[in-house]
Structure 1
Amino acid sequence: MPAFTIAAAQTASVAGDLPANIERHLAFMRTAAEQGVQLLVFAELSLTGYEPSLASELAIAPGDSVLAPLREMARELRMTAVVGMPIRLPSGSQVLIGALVMAADGSLAVYSKQHLHPGEELAFAPGTGGAALVWGDDRVALAVCADFAHASHPRAAAALGATVYAAGVLIGESGYAADTALLQGYAAEHAMVVLMANHGGPSGGWQCAGRSAIWGEDGCLIAAAQGVGEVLVIARREAGRWTGQCVEI
C-alpha cells in the first residue's frame, strides 16, 4: 500500500474570532506540512469555536473570500485541510455545521453535519453529508460529532469502501469514555482507520476533553494527545504499517 499520512489538529479556538482562528489553522498547516501530512482534519466548528449563539452572525458561504488564506495555503503545501465552520449554502438561508475541504489542488468541497445533537436545532439545520475524499486506493469518509453516534453513519461509510473515517468533534470530559469507545469499536468492526479531532480548550461553555486520537483498522490506538492544549496527532502508513506521533504546536 502507498505511504499515507493523516493528522488530527487539536486547536484551542477563540470564541467568534475568525481572523485569530485562521492564523492558528495556518500555523497548524505549516507544522503538519513539515511532518509530511497529506490530510489534516480540524475539530467541529474549529474556525469559530462551538458557539451556537453566534452561528447565525458568523455563518458564511463555503466559498467566501475570508477563507482564501486557508485555500491558498493548502494549495501551496499540497495538503488537504478539513476545517469546521458554520455555513449557509446558496440554496437556502439555514445555517449548517460545515466541514469544508480545502483540497491540495485548490478545489473546495463541503460536508455538512447530518445528525444534530439535542438542542442544536435551535441554531442549525441538519445537513446532507458529502462525498468521500479519494487518495489512490484510499477513501476518507467525513463525519461531524453527533454523526458518529448513529451507527448507520460509519456503517454506510464502510459500505461505500471507506478506509478512513475522520470525525471533527466537540467532546467533553463526561462523554469522552463512551464516545471514544464507539469510535474505537467502529475501527475494529469496519476495518477502517478512525480519526477524531477534538477541541483542545473550552468552547461554547463546554470543558472539552482534548485527547484527539487515531485508531487502526484493528481498533488499536495509533496515537493520541495526552490531554488538552494545541497538539497535532499524526498517523503514518508505510509499507502497510501504521505508526503515530504527537507534535505540540
Structure 2
Amino acid sequence: MTTLTLASAQTCSIAGDLAANIERHLAFMVAAAEHDVQLLVFPELSLTGYEPFLAMELAIAPNDAVLTPLREMARELNMTAVVGMPIRLPSSTGVLIGALVLAADGSLAVYSKQHLHSGEELAFMPGQGGEALVWGDDRIALAVCADFSHASHPRDAAALGATVYAAGVLISDGGYAADSALLQGYAGEHSMVVLMANHGGPSGGWVCAGRSAIWGADGALIAAASGVGDALVIARREAGNWSGWSVAL
C-alpha cells in the first residue's frame, strides 16, 4: 500500500466572517503540510461557522473567486482540502450545505449534504452527495454531519468500495458519546478508516465538543484531539500500518 496521510482540521470558526476564517484555514493548511498531510478535512460549514440564518447571504457558487487563496494554497502545498461552505448550484433554487474539495491539482469537486437535521430545512435544501475521491488504490467517501446518522450512507459508501469515510461535522457536548460511537462502529462494521472533523469551539449557539478523531478499519482509535480548541488530528499509513497523533494549533 502507498503512504497516505490524512488529517482532521478542528477549527474554531468566527460567525459569518468569511475573510477571517479563510485566513485561519490557510494557516491550518500550512501547519498540516509540515506533517506531510495529503488530505485535510474541515468541519461542517467551517468557512462561515454553523450559522443557518446567515447562510442565505453568505452562500456562494463553488467556483467563486473568494476561494482562490485556498485553491492556490492547495496547489502550492500539493494538498487536497475539503472545506465547509453554504453554496448555490445552477441546478438548485436554494442553499445547500457544501463540502468543497479543493484538490492539489487545481480541480474542484462538490459534495452537498444529503440528510438535514430537523430545523435545517428552514435555511437549506437537501443535497445530492458527491463522488468519492479516488486516491491511488483508495476511495475516500465524504459525509457532512447528519449524513452519517443514516446507516445507509456509510453502508452505501462501503458497497461502492470506499476505504475511507471522511465526515465534516458539528457535534455538541451532549451528542458526542452517541455520535462518536456510531462513527467508530461504522469503521469496524464496514472495514473503513473513519475520519471525523468537528468544530473546536461554539458555533451557531451550539457548545461543540471538539475531540475530532480518526478510527482504523478495525474500529480502533488511531488519533483524537483531547478536547476543544484548534487542533490537527493526523493519521498516516506506511507499509499498511496506521499511526496517528494530534497537534494543538
Q: For the superposition of Structure 1 and Structure 2, which TM-score range results when normalised by the shorter chain?
A: over 0.9
Query: Is 1:243 paired with 2:243?
Result: yes
Query: Is 1:131 paired with 2:122?
Result: no
Aligned length: 249
Question: By how many angstroms is 1:92 displaced?
Answer: 2.7
Question: By how many angstroms is 1:199 displaced?
Answer: 0.1
**C-alpha distance in 2 between matches for 1:209 and 1:92:** 32
Query: For 1:50-61, what aligned pairs fall within 5 Å after superposition?
Result: 50-61=50-61
Residue 82 of structure 1 aligns with an amino acid whose one-letter code is V
Query: Is 1:118 paired with 2:115?
Result: no
Question: By how many angstroms is 1:90 displaced?
Answer: 1.5
CA deviation map 1:109-158 (0-9, x unaligned): 00000000000000000000000001110000000000000000000000
Query: Is 1:188 paired with 2:188?
Result: yes
Runs (4 or more) in structure 1 with deviation over 6 Å come to none
Q: Percent identity?
A: 81
SS of 2:246 mapped into structure 1 = strand
Q: Which residue of 1 aligns with 2:104?
A: 104
**C-alpha distance in 2 between matches for 1:28 and 1:133:** 21
SS of 2:71 mapped into structure 1 = helix
SS of 2:70 mapped into structure 1 = helix
SS of 2:93 mapped into structure 1 = coil
Residue 97 of structure 2 aligns with an amino acid whose one-letter code is I
Q: Which sections of structure 1, spanning at least 5 residues, go unmatched?
A: none
Q: Which residue of 2 aligns with 1:205?
A: 205
**C-alpha distance in 2 between matches for 1:223 and 1:66:** 33
CA deviation map 1:198-224 (0-9, x unaligned): 000000000000000000000000000
Question: By how many angstroms is 1:93 displaced?
Answer: 2.7
Give TM-score scaled by structure 2 length: 1.00
Query: For 1:1-249, what aligned pairs fall within 5 Å after superposition?
Result: 1-249=1-249
Give TM-score scaled by structure 1 length: 1.00
**C-alpha distance in 1 between matches for 2:245 and 2:93:** 42
Residue 70 of structure 2 aligns with an amino acid whose one-letter code is L
**C-alpha distance in 1 between matches for 2:71 and 2:93:** 24
SS of 2:174 mapped into structure 1 = helix
CA deviation map 1:79-127 (0-9, x unaligned): 0000000000022331000000000000000000000000000000000
Residue 24 of structure 1 aligns with an amino acid whose one-letter code is R
Question: By how many angstroms is 1:240 displaced?
Answer: 0.5
Residue 226 of structure 1 aligns with an amino acid whose one-letter code is S
CA deviation map 1:167-212 (0-9, x unaligned): 0000000000000000000000000000000000000000000000
**C-alpha distance in 1 between matches for 2:216 and 2:12:** 26
Question: By how many angstroms is 1:247 displaced?
Answer: 1.1
**C-alpha distance in 1 between matches for 2:133 and 2:92:** 25
SS of 2:182 mapped into structure 1 = helix
Question: By how many angstroms is 1:248 displaced?
Answer: 1.2
